[in-house]
Amino acid sequence: MDYLKHTIALGTLLLVLSPLAAQNNPNRVRIQNSGIPRHLLPPEVIPQIPLTEEERITIDRGISDLRSPDKEVRTGAVMILGKYDHPSARLPVIEALSDESPRVRRAALVSVAEWSRGAPHQAIIPVLKLVGDEDLEIRRTASATIPTMMTIRQTYQIVRPSPDGPKPLPSDIIATLKAGFKDEDPVVRRNLVNHYYSLNINLPGETWIELLNDPDRQVRLAALPLAARHAPREVFFAKAKELAKSEDRIERLQLARELNLRGVHPEAQEILKLLQEDEDQEVASEAILGQLKFASTNSLFKTAVKRLLEGKMTQDQGIRFFRVIQINPNDAIPYLPSLIQLDDSVLRREAVAAYLDSGIADGKPRKLDPLVEDPSESVRKEVINYLASGTGRTDDTLIETMVFSPYLDVRAGLITVSNQFQAEPAAELLMDLLLDENVQIRARALQETVNRKLSPWSEVLSASLLDPDYQMQRAALGLILKNPFPGDTEALTNFLTEHPDSPLAPLIRARLGKPKGSDT
């Protein structure tokens, strides 16, 4: 709400300052381009763009045609007037929403729907009233526009607040909307259920239970989470027991998900136990997850692990299971060595993260060897971060595995890991990486060596300046200029002798104060 107020206030200021809002703007820019409907702001803030003489004549003719006894003439008039962004055209279209002819009402409703959030607030009540229209097409269209109409209403109440505060919808409109939940057409019922939270009205709990018995499957599925929230608890759980035996797999899965959110209730746990035996693997796994969140037991945990290892959980369910493990990490320790073998790389990463967090691998670098060679980069990253944090330990075998890894990210990760080493082993490791086939690895290793002044950093820097790769030469030169050392002049002079035409030569000559041609 505060964000909406801020946006409107800012938009108003911009429009006041903008020359596009001036009444004599030759470009006749329509206000909907600003994102704020003109009708929400007073005319002294946004002057109404004047109509041309031709537009005025056309609108007057359309208004006159709306008084015609011929419904076809009135329909044509509505369609023409609906194209004009001007109160003199739009208000007559809104009045046509109550025309005696369904054809005219349909044309008017289509026009209002096309205006979207730019529709005047005067359209809200007439449109909502049409949710109870005798014409099926009108009821479907009107019920589909509920979110738009309610957004306009909310915005209008903020921009033009009433001294008495926000007013509720008229009682007859509320009655019409409530009746829409029992409309004979499933599309209308579906629209009402899907847009329930836009309406800000209360329905009796019995209505939600009735909707769970709706003949239309989509209505039942849309109503299920709402019934779980708004129907009396004992009534909902009684109905949920019936739904647990539904022949519709999606209905049972949706039920399990809703009970998953309400597993704190004994009634929910009871139904979840029934669904745990469901013939559908996804439904059964969902039921197990729901129980684990609120009543974790060793046998239930073991069952969940078994299902995950057997591929009987979806990836999303597997991820949520690892969130349960984060809450009860000790329960998972016996199973983590098996879980890090999962085929799904996303789930394997979750398992490796839990495995490393558990402390199983602390001080045991042998357990990390296969993980740094995992085909999944996200898994390898978990291991590198673990080692870089100082929690994990390395040994010569693990270091050798990483130095000669085919994965660039592992070799690069070693540079970060080297920060955990004392000077001598760090220098030895970085020396190995300075021989890497990848120039980016070599450049990063050089940078780390110089930053830590690891002996013999100055000799390494001089030698790197003669690296056959230009990128490495450039990196070495930049470090020499920032980190002068005894002998750096000799190193730069040697470079000029061997590479007098290098793109780096002018910079080096400037550093040495030598003109071109005097490189000896």
Tokens of 136: 């099926």
- Distance in angstroms (rounded) separating the CA atoms of residues 395 and 269: 49
Determine the pLDDT at residue 26. Answer: 38
Question: What was the pLDDT predicted at 37?
Answer: 65
Q: 353 and 382 in contact (C-beta within 8 Å)?
A: yes
pLDDT > 90? residue 21: no
pLDDT tier at 515 (50, 70, 90 boundaries)?
Answer: low
3-state helix, strand, coil in the chain (%, to 5): 70, 0, 30
Phi, psi of 265 (to 5 degrees): -85, 135
Q: Is the pLDDT of residue 303 over 50?
A: yes
Tell me, what's the pLDDT at 34?
45
- The confidence score (pLDDT) of residue 294 equals 82
Q: Report the pLDDT value the prediction gives residue 339, as an integer from 0 to 100.
A: 97
Taking the C-alpha atoms of residue 130 and residue 122, their distance in angstroms, rounded to an integer, is 14
What pLDDT sits at residue 40?
64
61, 79 contact by CB (below 8 A): no
pLDDT of residue 6: 47
CB atoms within 10 A of CB 114: 11
pLDDT in tens, 310-341: 999 999 999 999 999 998 888 899 999 999 99
What pLDDT, in 10s, does the model give residues 58-102? 999 999 999 999 999 999 999 999 999 999 999 999 999 999 999
* pLDDT given at position 264: 78
Q: Is the pLDDT of residue 509 over 50?
A: yes
Q: What is the mean pLDDT of residues 265-283?
A: 95
- Residue 33: its H or E element: none
Task: Taking residues 153-167, report their average pLDDT.
Answer: 87
% of the chain exceeding 90 in pLDDT: 76
Mean pLDDT of the 28-50 span: 58
Least confident of 77-91, 244-258, 290-304, 357-371: 290-304
How many of the other CB atoms lie within 10 Å of CB of 299? Answer: 7
pLDDT band (50, 70, 90) for residue 29: very low
SS3 45: coil
Tell me what the mean pLDDT of segment 494-513 comes to.
88
Least confident of 133-137, 244-248, 463-467: 463-467
pLDDT band at residue 25, thresholds of 50, 70 and 90? very low
| 520 pLDDT more than 80 | no
End-to-end Cα spacing for the chain: 74
pLDDT per residue as tens digits for the range 206-235:
999 999 999 999 999 999 999 999 999 999
Confidence of residue 36 (pLDDT cuts 50, 70, 90): low
Closest CA to 457 of 489, 490, 423: 423
> Contact, 292 vs 321, CB < 8 A?
yes
Burial class (CB in 10 A: 0-12, 13-18, 19+), 424: exposed
What are the φ/ψ torsions at residue 275 (nearest 5 degrees)?
A: -70, -20
User: In this model, does residue 20 exceed pLDDT 80?
Assistant: no
Whether the per-residue pLDDT at 136 is higher than 50: the answer is yes
Q: Report the distance separating Cα 191 and Cα 185, nearest Å.
A: 10
Asked whether residue 44 carries a pLDDT value surpassing 60, the answer given is: no
Asked if residue 12 has pLDDT above 60, the reply is: no
In this prediction, residue 162 has a pLDDT band, given cuts at 50, 70 and 90, of: confident
**DSSP alpha helix (H) spans, 82-204:** 87-95, 102-115, 124-129, 136-144, 146-159, 171-180, 186-194, 196-199
Percent of the chain beyond pLDDT 70?
90
The average confidence (pLDDT) of the chain is 89
Task: Report the SS3 class of residue 138.
Answer: helix
- In DSSP notation, 287-324 reads HHHHHHHHS--HHHHHHHHHHHHTT-S-HHHHHHHHHH
Per-residue burial over 2-15, b = 16 or more CB atoms within 10 Å of its CB, e = otherwise: eeeeeebeeebeeb
CA pair distance 478, 474, nearest whole angstrom: 6
